[in-house]
Structure 1
Amino acid sequence: MEGYENHKWFEITDEAKNQMEKLLNKNPDKYAVSLIVEGGGCAGFKYKWGFIDNKEQVSADDHTEDWHTGRFVVDESSMMYVAGTKIDWKEEVFGSQFEITNPNASSGCGCGESFGV
């Protein structure tokens, strides 16, 4: 994306990386954890978490971040919506989830999985 060549695309906290590693360890047939932005949700766009099965499913235009035993991929078409985003893992009494702090979002909803730009 223009303007982000020398910038960090997004920040993944150590807690989020640890959780992604756990997910990949529980699913050894998967290549990476993925995040896609698609239309929908109560605020216009929604985050869709998933897995990528193998390296061949990753385009040269996708953004991949690798570390020790983990790998995270965001597809090229989603990058304009998540550039500069912080991804964290929050464990609370009533559940745990990835928490996304997105500077591109002009609005959001209570579930944290939907946003507007």
Structure 2
Amino acid sequence: MQEKITEEVKRFAASSSADDKTYVRQKWPTLAAWYRERIRGDWELENINSELRDYGVVEWKNRVLEAGLTAITFRMKRGGLGEYQQNCFLVGYVADREFDVARDRYRLPARTSRPL
């Protein structure tokens, strides 16, 4: 689940707004808006890291489904300012593999941007 979330976010970051074929904007609109705003503000992506924060099962409509929470960390730089920043978003969803659907997507508040 962590790998799937990370790959989707990386594909989103690598695409232009018009070229985006991921569902990141629908699943985690705050993360997507923050990232696009940074890119428009002349920030450049250095890398994206992820870390599994929680994983388990939930009961959803009398069925047991997997649920996961992943920390996605963006490391950005802005050459004109000579600055680096790192932001972390906690995102996840309930995986309904029987119907191949991500249910109950969630995003916890990001850690505050901080210069590095």
Q: Which has the higher strand share?
A: 2
Query: TM-score with structure 2 length normalisation?
Result: 0.28
Bigger helix share: 2
Instruction: Pick 1 or 2: higher relative contact order, CA cutoff 8 A, min separation 6.
Output: 1
Normalization by structure 1: what TM-score? 0.28
- Name which one, 1 or 2, has greater alpha-carbon Rg: 2
